[in-house]
Amino acid sequence: MTKKQKKTLMRIIVSAVLLVLAYVFTGFVFEDLNWWIKLLCFFVPYAVIGWDILFKAGRNIAHGQIFDENFLMCLATIGAFAIGEYPEGVFVMLFYQVGELFQSCAVEKSRRSISEMMDIRPDYANIEREGEIIRVDPEEINVGDVIVVKPGERIPLDGVILSGSASLDTAALTGESKPREAEEGDEVLSGCVNLSGVLNIQVTKEFGQSTVSKILDLVENASGKKAKAENFITKFARYYTPCVVIAAVLLAVIPPLVLGFGWGEWLQRALIFLVISCPCALVISVPLSFFGGIGGASRNGILVKGGNYLEALSKTDCVVFDKTGTLTMGVFKVTAVHPDKCSKEQLLELAAAVEFYSEHPIARSIKEACPQETDKRRLGEVKEISGQGVEAVIDGKKVFAGSGKLMEKAGVKWRQCHKTGTTVNVAAEGEYLGHIVISDEIKPDSEDAIKRLKLLGIKKTVMLTGDSKEVGEEIAKKLGLDEVYTRLLPADKVEKVETLLAEREGKRNGKTNGKINSLAFVGDGINDAPVLSRADIGIAMGGIGSDAAIEAADIVLMDDKPSKIPLAIGIAKRTMRIVRQNIVFALGVKVIVMVMGAFGVANMWEAVFADVGVSVIAILNAMRAMKKIGD
C-alpha cells in the first residue's frame, strides 16, 4: 500500500469513528438537539472524508470540467445535508472513498504485476579498469567494452560471452522457469540473471539500443494505446454524466411543479438517482481489465504494445505463419549431396565459397558441412539475388548457387531432386555441377499449437514460405495447416497477405463471401517486417534480440515457441470476456436501480451498493485478467 493509500485508509477509519460518535450523540444521548448542532456533528466526519472530493470538484468546475464523478458525489451528498439526511450524506461519501481506495489498490496491484515481471532494468554494470572491477552506470558502457557479470547479478547489456559459462534465468523475458545454459561464444541478452559462474561479456549494443531498454519502453507505453472499448467508455462517460444530472434535476422539479407532489420526497429521489448514476464501475474496471490483460500476458512472456492490439487479437480468425524459424527450428543441416560432374567434396567446397559472406541459415549449414575453410583470396565479385541465391566469381569463374529460378536465369539446365528439403543447385561457367539438399526440423510444439488454434475458433491457418512446393506441402500436411503457399519472395508474402485481407474487406463491403474478419501474421521479426506491419496483428516470435521485431510487430513473443500464439489469443479472448461482463453488469445493475430510485423503491443504501458495490465487484472481476495462465 502506498503512502497516499495509507493516508486515505486512516481518513476512512477516523471518519467512520466520528460518524458513529455523531450518530450515538445525536440519536441516543441528546435526541432534542437543534438542527444546526446535528449538522455540525455530522459535518465534521463529512469534512474529514470528503474535503478532497469537494476540492477536486471545485477545481474542475473552475477549469470548465463540470460533469464528473466528483461533481456527482458532491451534489448528492450536499443535497442529502440540505434535506436533513445528514448520516446518509456522510455514509455516501464514506463508501465512495472506500470504493476509490479499493480501485487505487487494484490499479497498483496491476502495475506491480507488470513491473515485477519487467523488473529487468539494471542498476549497474561491472567493468575492469586499472586492474580493479568497479560498478558504473550501464549508460556509460560503450560497444566493444568488456563487462563482468557475477553469479546472482542481472546482465545489464546485450553482448557475446568471451569467457566463462553459466545458467541464465530468462523468466523475466520469456516467462519460462527453466534456466538456459550459456557458454563462450553465445549471445546473451540484457535482463537475464546469471545463476552460476563468472561471465566476461563483450558489449554489442549500447544501453539505449539494448533488449532491456526496448522492452521497458514498450511496456511503459503500452497503456497509451487504448482499445475501442476503452475509447467508447471515455466518450460514453462524457455524455452520460451531464445527461443523468439533467435527468435528476427534472426528476426533482417536474413532479412537484406539474403534479403537485411534495418537494422533499422527489428531491430525495433525485439525490438517490445521482448516487446510483456515478459511472465509476465502468470508468475504472474497463481500462483495468485491459491493463490486467497486458500484465497477465507479460507474465507469460508475451509483450502486447497496447489494449487496442489485445482487442484486435481477440477477434482474429485467420493466422498466417512464416515457415523458417516460426514453425520450424530454422536450424538447417545438409542431408544429401548429389554431384553431377564433380565429387561431393568439390561440390560442397564450391557452394561454401559462393556462400562465404552470407549469414543466411542455409548458407551457414553449407559452410559447416564443408570439410575445409574457404580461402578468401579465391573470391571475386559476390552478388546476392533476393529470394533466388548468390552469384559469385570463384577462381575467376562465374558460379551460381541457389534455386531453380536462378539456374534458369543463368541459362543452365538443372534437374529436380527426389528428396524433400531445400535444394541448392550449383553451376559454374554455364555447366550444372549438381545440388545440395538442406532440411529443417519442425518445432516440437508446432503441431499442438495448430490444434489449439483450431479449438480457439481460428477458421484458417496458412503458411507462407520461399521453400519448394514439396517441402512446404509436406510440412503443412504434418501440422494440419489449411493452406500453404510456396516459392515466395519477400514481396510475394506481402501480396499473399494482401489477398487474404481482401477477403475480409469483401465481407465488410458485401461484395463477396469473405471468409475472415481479422488476420494475424506470425514471423521471426527480422526478415518479415513488411508483412508484420501489413497484417491486422503482427506477432514476432523469439524477437527478444531483434530490433525489427520490437519495431514492426504489435505483439512480441519472448521465446520461439509456437504454443505461445494460442496462449496469446486465449489471453486476449479472456480479457475481452471480462470487459464485456463488466460493461453489461455495471450498466444493467445501474439501470435497474436507477429506475427503482426514480419510482421511490430504492433507498440511499441501495444507491450506495449500485455505485460502490458494483464498482468493487467489477474491479474484482477485472483483476482476473492479471492471472498468469497455468497459475
Write out the catalytic residue numbers.
Answer: 322
The answer to whether 541 and 552 have CB atoms below 8 angstroms apart is: no
Cell of 327: 514453425
Cα distance between residue 352 and residue 471, in whole Å? 23
Q: Report which DSSP code applies to 478.
A: H
Q: Are strands 422-428 and 483-485 parallel, antiparallel or unpaired?
A: unpaired
DSSP secondary structure, 189-239, as one string: -TT-EE-SS-EEEEE-S-GGGSHHHHHHHHHHHHTTS--HHHHHHHHHHHH
| Alpha-carbon distance values, 223 to 288, 311, 340 (Å) | 10, 13, 61
Q: Are strands 460-464 and 483-485 parallel, antiparallel or unpaired?
A: parallel
In this structure, which long-range contacts are made by residues 476-485, counting pairs with CB atoms below 8 Å and at least 24 apart in sequence? Answer: 478/442, 478/447, 479/327, 479/442, 479/446, 479/447, 479/450, 480/447, 480/450, 480/451, 480/454, 481/321, 481/450
Task: Report how far apart the first and last C-alpha atoms of the chain are (Å, whole number).
Answer: 24
How many whole angstroms from its chain centre is CA 108?
A: 18
Query: Which class for 147: exposed (0-12), middle (13-18), buried (19 or more C-beta within 10 A)?
Result: buried
Nearest 5°: CA angle at 557, between 552 and 562? 115
The answer to whether 181 and 195 have CB atoms below 8 angstroms apart is: no
Cα distance between residue 495 and residue 544, in whole Å? 27
Query: Which class for 249: exposed (0-12), middle (13-18), buried (19 or more C-beta within 10 A)?
Result: middle
Cα distance between residue 307 and residue 223, in whole Å? 7
Cα distance between residue 276 and residue 589, in whole Å? 9
DSSP run (H or E) holding 532 = helix 529-534
The residue ranges of DSSP E strands in 34-184, in sequence order, are: 125-129, 132-136, 146-149, 159-163, 166-169, 180-182
The residue ranges of DSSP E strands in 314-447, in sequence order, are: 318-322, 333-339, 379-385, 389-394, 397-402, 422-428, 431-439
Cell of 560: 520461439
The answer to whether 346 and 487 have CB atoms below 8 angstroms apart is: no
